[in-house]
Amino acid sequence: MKIKQLIDLKFDNRFTKELPADAETINNRRQVFNACYSLVTPSQVTNPTLVAYSEEVADLLDLDPTVCKSKAFTDTFVGNQILPSMNPYATCYGGHQFGHWAGQLGDGRAINLGEIVNQQNQRWAIQLKGAGPTPYSRTADGLAVLRSSVREFLCSEAMHHLGVPTTHALSLITTGETVIRDMFYNGNPQAEPGAVVCRVAPSFTRFGHFQILSARGELDLLKQLVDYTIITDFSHLGAPSPQTYSIWFREVCQKTAEMIVHWQRVGFVHGVMNTDNMSILGLTIDYGPYGWLENYDPGWTPNTTDAEQKRYRFGNQPQIAFWNLGQLANALFPLIKKEQALHDAMDCYSETFETGWQTMMAHKLGLQAFKPSTDDDLCAELLIIMQLVETDMTLFYRQLAKIDCSQGLEETQIDSAVDRLSPAYYVPEQITPTYQLRLKQWLKTYGQRIQNDQRSHSERLNQMNAVNPLYVLRNYLAQLAIDKAEQGDFAGVHELLDALRHPYTEKDGKAHYSAKRPDWARQRAGCSMLSCSS
């Protein structure tokens, strides 16, 4: 039965009921000790307007569509109206940023409204991003601009439909006010439209929540938070104990590995894999300067802040996740006290990622199973070939699936197979005879591998198209929607959201959403690299 009045939402608010609050109640920037959160109230805004909402997320919360189109919905999820059962708060956490310990960070522009328990007895934390300052805002204002909010809203839902573990976004609402931002930190601040995104997840707990307590020596509170997390989010592991802590950390490692495999599968680059941006549930969290690989380049990062070091480049994401888990292991050591148990859990990450990557590549290539004796070299050579010229990763796999090589590829078929891949190339002049020779040799080897599997063309095509998306949230597509939205036209957001709902299925009239990056977008702000400014 759908909820037709927001007041009927069932808030549980276990986080604030069971964990200690900041003793200070004034909302001023400060260091917060011996507390997991601070009570805060969202800032009031003058003229909120609903840009879009996610029907799928509304369904998770049992909300009737009529509620989502109401003034009460807009007022509530922009922060102007606090329901009686809500208990707004911002949490305290720390983290490593670009490899360096940053101390206290916390929810600087996120305010949690509370936790809902839906009719399926699922718990969903509700959080507003851009709803005003908190004690953790440091020198910032706690607000967000429309361009980054459009990107967060669309990407959260795009990732969900791609099958990638992720937080969700319920709504995107403009505030009617402007926010001053220096988009590229180059001394050119401008007034931009303000907005608030309502994010939804089973939990927003991050690695950094545990790190800050351990770093400060607040070990009793560390134990309390770990116990709470296990009871609330990992209840299947049983009662908290030193043994359970080890099993729990192992599961965190496993979930993180599975998430990273999905990132690599679809070509997603997070851009800011700081430990404070890592979910304890293995969910993709904090959509800032992210991007999708367009031309396949393992060294690419979408983050201007990381342009020189490229710490968070696409090809380094598996290693960074491992490093981040190591920092979490250090934070948990005072509770687990068994170095070998932590090492074993880290090994589980490596094993899960390796097995997951092999299975993922087998599926992307239409193989029945990954056979290291042949497929290690097959995959390695493919990834080299894709880097030799500007090759659109998303389109390459979709075009490869169309080549019928169920009976292998004869010499007479190779040229047409190469032609089939041509839509994936950005610069046709790069397709030299030397490149073609190497590609043709790979295609012959690949065709023989497929023939050995004895699979029909349709069977392989269906498998490949089920894991290789056609529609992804390319940066230039997001920017086009942002350009319109900043002029008050939200149709682009709605149309793009609709296209991204079915990323694996080709739809009539949607060809422009699967097109590779146009030349005008190669270097344009917002279409290639982005900053953390929001």
DSSP string, 444-509: HHHHHHHHHHT--HHHHHHHHHHHS-S----HHHHHHHHHHHTTT--HHHHHHHHHHTSTTS--TT
Distance in angstroms (rounded) separating the CA atoms of residues 110 and 114: 12
Do 100 and 47 share a domain, yes or no? Answer: yes
Q: Where are the alpha helices (DSSP H) in 197-336?
A: 207-215, 219-233, 242-266, 317-336
Do 88 and 172 share a domain, yes or no? Answer: yes
pLDDT value at position 62?
A: 97
pLDDT value at position 525?
A: 77
40 contact partners, CB below 8 Å, separation of at least 6: 27, 88, 89, 90, 111, 132, 134, 135
Dihedral angle of Cα 304, 307, 308, 313, to the nearest 10 degrees: 140
334 near 320, Cβ under 8 Å? Answer: no
pLDDT digits 0-9 by tens, 7-56? 999 999 999 999 999 999 999 999 999 999 999 999 999 999 999 999 99
Catalytic residues: 276
Maximum alpha-carbon separation in the chain: 77
pLDDT value at position 149?
A: 97
pLDDT reading at 533 higher than 60: no
Do 276 and 348 share a domain, yes or no? Answer: yes
pLDDT value at position 502?
A: 97
Amino acid letter, 291: G
Alpha carbon of 485 to those of 261, 439, 481: distances in Å? 33, 43, 6
Do 19 and 151 share a domain, yes or no? Answer: yes
Report yes or no on 85 lying in a domain: yes
Residue labelled with tokens 């960070």: 105
Predicted confidence band of residue 416 (pLDDT cuts 50, 70, 90): very high
pLDDT reading at 186 higher than 80: no
Q: How many domains does the chain have?
A: 4
Predicted confidence band of residue 468 (pLDDT cuts 50, 70, 90): very high
Report yes or no on 19 lying in a domain: yes
Provide the token pair at 232.
């609330």
Provide the token pair at 201.
């997840």
pLDDT reading at 531 higher than 70: no
Q: What is the Cα gyration radius of the chain?
A: 24
Do 243 and 109 share a domain, yes or no? Answer: no
Tell me, what DSSP letter sits at residue 271? Answer: S
pLDDT digits 0-9 by tens, 232-255? 999 999 999 999 999 999 999 999
Total residue length of the chain: 534
Do 44 and 123 share a domain, yes or no? Answer: yes
Report yes or no on 527 lying in a domain: no
Q: Which of 325, 345, 363 is the last residue of a domain?
A: 363
Do 101 and 65 share a domain, yes or no? Answer: yes
Report yes or no on 347 lying in a domain: yes
Q: Which domain holds residue 395?
A: 368-454
C-alpha closest to that of 154 among 458, 479, 415, 391: 479
Report yes or no on 532 lying in a domain: no
How open is the CA angle 526-527-529, to the nearest 5 degrees? 70
C-alpha closest to that of 286 among 418, 426, 167: 167
Predicted confidence band of residue 176 (pLDDT cuts 50, 70, 90): very high
pLDDT digits 0-9 by tens, 91-148? 999 999 999 999 999 999 999 999 999 999 999 999 999 999 999 999 889 999 999 9
Q: Where are the alpha helices (DSSP H) in 139-241?
A: 146-162, 207-215, 219-233
213 near 222, Cβ under 8 Å? Answer: yes
115 near 11, Cβ under 8 Å? Answer: yes
Do 394 and 326 share a domain, yes or no? Answer: no
Q: Which of 172, 207, 242 is the last residue of a domain?
A: 207
Residue 223 CB-half CA count within 13 A? 11
Question: What is the value of pTM for the model shown?
Answer: 0.97
Do 242 and 329 share a domain, yes or no? Answer: yes
Predicted confidence band of residue 521 (pLDDT cuts 50, 70, 90): confident
pLDDT digits 0-9 by tens, 312-347? 999 999 999 999 999 999 999 999 999 999 999 999
Do 93 and 164 share a domain, yes or no? Answer: yes
Report yes or no on 469 lying in a domain: no
pLDDT value at position 527?
A: 79
Please measure the distance between the N-terminal and C-terminal CA atoms of the chain and give it in whole angstroms. 38
pLDDT value at position 316?
A: 98
Query: How high does pLDDT run on average in the chain?
Result: 96
pLDDT reading at 400 higher than 80: yes
Predicted confidence band of residue 453 (pLDDT cuts 50, 70, 90): very high
Cα-flanking dihedrals φ and ψ of residue 282, to 5°? 70, 40
Q: Give the start-end residues of each E strand in 235-329.
A: 268-269, 291-292
User: What mean pLDDT do residues 501-515 have?
Assistant: 96
Do 404 and 315 share a domain, yes or no? Answer: no
Cα-flanking dihedrals φ and ψ of residue 69, to 5°? -100, 10
Cα-flanking dihedrals φ and ψ of residue 171, to 5°? -150, 160
Do 334 and 396 share a domain, yes or no? Answer: no
Distance in angstroms (rounded) separating the CA atoms of residues 130 and 145: 8
26 contact partners, CB below 8 Å, separation of at least 6: none
Report yes or no on 221 lying in a domain: no
Q: Which of 305, 340, 363 is the last residue of a domain?
A: 363
175 near 196, Cβ under 8 Å? Answer: yes
pLDDT value at position 515?
A: 95
C-alpha closest to that of 265 among 421, 159, 169, 157: 159
Report yes or no on 529 lying in a domain: no
227 near 19, Cβ under 8 Å? Answer: no
pLDDT digits 0-9 by tens, 260-288? 999 999 999 999 999 999 999 999 999 99
230 near 248, Cβ under 8 Å? Answer: yes
